[in-house]
Each structure stands twice: as structure tokens, then as C-alpha cells.
Amino acid sequence: LRRNPGEAEFHQAVREVFDSLGPVLDKNPQYADAAVLQRICEPERQIIFRVPWVDDAGQVNINRGFRVEFNSALGPFKGGLRFHPSVYLGIVKFLGFEQVFKNSLTGMPIGGGKGGSDFDPRGKSNGEVMRFCQSFMTELYRHIGEYTDVPAGDIGVGGREIGYLFGQYKRITNRYESGVLTGKGISWGGSLVRTEATGFGTVFFAQHMLETRNGGLEGKRVVVSGSGNVAIYAMQKAQQLGGHVVACSDSSGYVLDEAGIDVELVRQIKEIERGRIADYAARRPGSSFVEGGRVWSVGAEVALPCATQNELDVDDARALIESGLKAVAEGANMPTTPEAVALFQEAGVLFAPGKAANAGGVATSALEMQQNASRDAWTFEHTEERLAGIMESIHDRCATTADEYGQPGNYVAGANIAGFTKVADAMLALGVI
Ligand code: NDP
């Protein structure tokens, strides 16, 4: 705490992992002897830089850029970039720390990192976003590379931003190094299914959890928060598996559509028109928009928080449990507050933490890296099959580890312990570095 003052989200993320590790340390004293815990919460490298750019009115703007290279014991640093006004070092470190364990759970050879900026892409023109991305990359390029650190998207960073970032990297380095960024467009080195992967993977995970209780998504009432990349494809896959998705949101409120959310309309409004979720209600008869409302208040059997950190609190949890909630799978990173997680677990609700449930995104990024390295491009079906297999194995590894440590059904403990031990063993093998 003293070394990282004021970084509340980072403290929360560390505490949440360390809370699960008591039994692991009892069984494995070698971790304490080699100070693995102390080392694992100190990033290998943290970069903070100035990002100057000129807006359409000719004004000079200054934002702050970050890249936290957290842990490379398993492979090159890997993790997204977030552009949102709330970004500061504590957010980037919480995300980077989570990423280390998530990437370990995927079983792929990738370390953990995260980055971003307090730049707000909302309301900016394409030209402004491009100039910002070019300026951001003009500093970042010297720190990244296929074998070093491979950024991707996150909140506020989608295909458009990755394109501008990759273009500037290529221009500065004179290298068509496809493997330096993931989330690229299909015609310039991207992978099919990457866009859908986080949302799809979250739903695959929810389905596996429900199957442990002889159920599935078929016929269940599903509520999703957010209406960005993760939310859109979580809704699409939930519907494909027979779920009845009735609500989604953005930071201004939520829409309720008891007839079932028209995902294609959400996609049109958010991905193509870059509009607000309120526009959905204006265009879809029978639906309503609740300004400033909390999406969880509509009640669900399956809740998929896919917006941002700490967006589902203890009051939301209580309301959801009363409405007959059976499962929660976190598409976002740390969307559920610790008190709400405890309440779900006490109530016997199946609960999948983000580092397991949303790992399909980064796993498919690793598949994109594989395709880039072999100059290959896989079909949608093949890539989705790989994603489905990875999500099943993450689910099973979390469940088996929870059993092994005497906490059956506790996916939080399972994910933390399984994610941690793989990284810790690699750190031991590599010596004190
Ligand atoms: P997007 O920027 O595409 O979408 C974010 C969505 O969440 C938007 O609808 C946004 O609304 C909404 N949102 C943001 N803040 C709030 C808030 N305070 N209250 C309600 N809604 C809010 O981001 P992604 O979909 O990519 O990311 C969503 C989450 O998933 C993040 O936690 C991210 O870290 C996590 N994640 C993403 C991965 C990916 O592959 N993209 C991989 C793994 C995790 P508005 O437009 O109003 O801001």
C-alpha cells in the first residue's frame, strides 16, 4: 500500500487474488522463500509518457500515455490499451495484474501487461482519433514488439484505433511486423473471431457452469451491461444458445426490450453509427430507455456484466438474487465489487470471475499471433472451435483446482490458484529476475 499510494483498483485486484492463495502457500513454501508474492505484484517495467496532439480547431491537447509491462515469465507482455478519461496508473496496474493470471489460465505462451491513456475518443472526429493514435505510438513503438510486448484493444480502442496505431508503427519502424498488435482488421493481419471472442467466450463459460447443474442458457432470462465490443457479442452468442436477452446499457442508462434485444440494431448504433443506447429505444417499438437507471434492476437468471470495473454492487446483487439469479459470468474486468461477489457465493449463485470468463479475447489474440507467425489465416469455424476448446479447458481447470483445494464450485479460488501457480512456477524456474 505504501509503495503504491492512491491506486485503489490495483489494491482491490491484488487483495482479491491474495485472498485465495493461503492454502497454496501452505502447500508450497518455495514460493515464499523466493519472494514470489512480492515480485509478482511489482511490474517489471512501467512507462508513462506525454501524448501531444492537435484537434480539429487547431488547439494543442496533452494526454498521458501508459504501458505497464507486468510479468513476462510465460511469454511476451500481452494485454490491451484502454482510452477513457478515467484511466490513471491505478487502473492500468489493476488491469495488468489481472492480465497476468488470465493469460496464464489460457494455457498460451503469453505474459501480462496493459496500457492506455486518459484520452476520451467519444465525440472526437476520425482525424482527431488518428492524430492522437499516431502521437501515442510515436512514443510506444520503442517499447513493443512481437517478442517483447504485444498490445491490443480494450475500452475505447477497437479496430479503428488499432489500425491507426499499426499504421504509425509500420511507418516509424519500416517493418510490416503483424505480430506487434492484435485486434487487426482481417485484410491486414487480423484473425476472424477476434472481434467476437471475448463476448462469445464469456457465454461459453456461463454455459459450462450451468451444465454443472444440469442446465444451460436455453430459455433463461439474460441481462447484459454495456453495449460495446464485449456486450454485443455476448448478447449474440447468448441468443444463439437459446437465452432470452432483455436488457443492455451504456454509461447513460439502459434499454429494456422484453421481446428480446435486437442485437443487430445495437451493433448498427454502437459499432457503425457510434451512437448512444438511447437511440435503440427511439427506433425499436415496444422497448424503453431508462436514463441513469441500473440495468441489474430488471432481474435475470443469468447476468453478464460487460461494461467496466465495479459496476455491480451489493444492492444490485441483492436485487438480482431476489429475481431468481442462477449465474454470473464477468465479461468485463472486475465489474463486481468484492462484497457483491461474497453475496453471490453465499447465495449459491454460480460466479465466474473475469480473469477466467473473459479470457477468450486474449486467447484469440494469441491465435492471431500464431497465424501472423506462420503467415496463415484460419477460417471462422476453425478459430471458433479453438476458442470453444480453450474456454472449456479454462472452465475445467478452474473447477478441478477448486475441488483440489477443497472449495468445489468456487471459480474465484480455482481461477486465482490455477492462474497463479503456473506463473509462480515459471518465475521460480527463471531465477530471481
Ligand atoms: P467498449 O469501449 O467497446 O465498450 C464499453 C461499454 O461499457 C460501452 O457500452 C460503455 O458505455 C460501457 N460503459 C463504460 N463505462 C460504463 C459505466 N460506468 N457504466 C455503464 N456502462 C459503462 O469496451 P469493451 O467492450 O472492449 O470492454 C468492456 C469490458 O470488457 C472492460 O472491462 C474491458 O476491460 C473488458 N475486456 C475487454 C476485452 C476485449 O476483447 N475487448 C477482453 C477482456 C476484457 P459508454 O459508451 O457510455 O461509455
pLDDT band at 289 (very low <50, low <70, confident <90, very high): very high
Domain boundary among 131, 150, 178: 178
Could you tell me if 173 and 201 lie in one domain? no
Catalytic positions are: 114
Could you tell me if 208 and 353 lie in one domain? yes
- Give residue 107's identity as a one-letter amino acid code: G
Domain of residue 250 covers 196-357
Cα 305 to ligand 1 centroid, rounded to whole Å: 9
> Which atom of ligand 1 is found nearest the CA of 365?
40
DSSP 8-state assignment for residue 185:
-
DSSP states of 259-318: T---HHHHHIIIIIS---THHHHHHSTT-EEEET--GGGG--SEEEE-S-TT-B-HHHHH
* 226 close to ligand 1 (CB < 6 Angstrom): yes
* 76 close to ligand 1 (CB < 6 Angstrom): no
Q: What is the ipTM of this complex?
A: 0.98
- Rounded to an integer, the average pLDDT of 47-74 is 98
Domain boundary among 315, 340, 357: 357
Asked if residue 25 is part of any domain, the answer here is no
Cα 426 to ligand 1 centroid, rounded to whole Å: 32
Domain boundary among 143, 178, 213: 178
pLDDT digits (tens, 9 = 90+) for 339-384: 999 999 999 999 999 999 999 999 999 999 999 999 999 999 999 9
At 151 the pLDDT is 98
| CATH code of the domain covering residue 346 | 3.40.50.720
At 2 the pLDDT is 82
- Rounded to an integer, the average pLDDT of 178-188 is 98
* 154 close to ligand 1 (CB < 6 Angstrom): yes
Could you tell me if 291 and 317 lie in one domain? yes
> Which atom of ligand 1 is found nearest the CA of 158?
3
- Rounded to an integer, the average pLDDT of 295-321 is 98
| CATH code of the domain covering residue 113 | 3.40.50.10860
- Rounded to an integer, the average pLDDT of 62-68 is 98
Asked if residue 322 is part of any domain, the answer here is yes
Cα 54 to ligand 1 centroid, rounded to whole Å: 26
pLDDT digits (tens, 9 = 90+) for 192-249: 999 999 999 999 999 999 999 999 999 999 999 999 999 999 999 999 999 999 999 9
Q: How many domains does the chain have?
A: 2
pLDDT of 1 higher than 80: no
* 250 close to ligand 1 (CB < 6 Angstrom): yes
Could you tell me if 87 and 218 lie in one domain? no
At 397 the pLDDT is 98
Listed residue (324, 305, 170) closest to 234, CA to CA: 305
* 308 close to ligand 1 (CB < 6 Angstrom): yes
Could you tell me if 220 and 82 lie in one domain? no
The residue whose CB lies within 8 Å of the most ligand 1 atoms, and thus the one to mutate among 84, 198, 309, is 198
Q: The whole model's pTM is what? A: 0.97
- As a dihedral over the C-alpha atoms of residue 270, residue 271, residue 273, residue 275, rounded to 10 degrees, the angle is 20
Q: Which long-range contacts (CB under 8 A, 24 or more apart) does 373-380 make?
A: 373/146, 373/179, 377/186, 377/191, 377/192, 378/191, 378/192, 379/192, 380/192, 380/193
Could you tell me if 280 and 156 lie in one domain? no
Asked if residue 76 is part of any domain, the answer here is yes
pLDDT digits (tens, 9 = 90+) for 125-169: 999 999 999 999 999 999 999 999 999 999 999 999 999 999 999
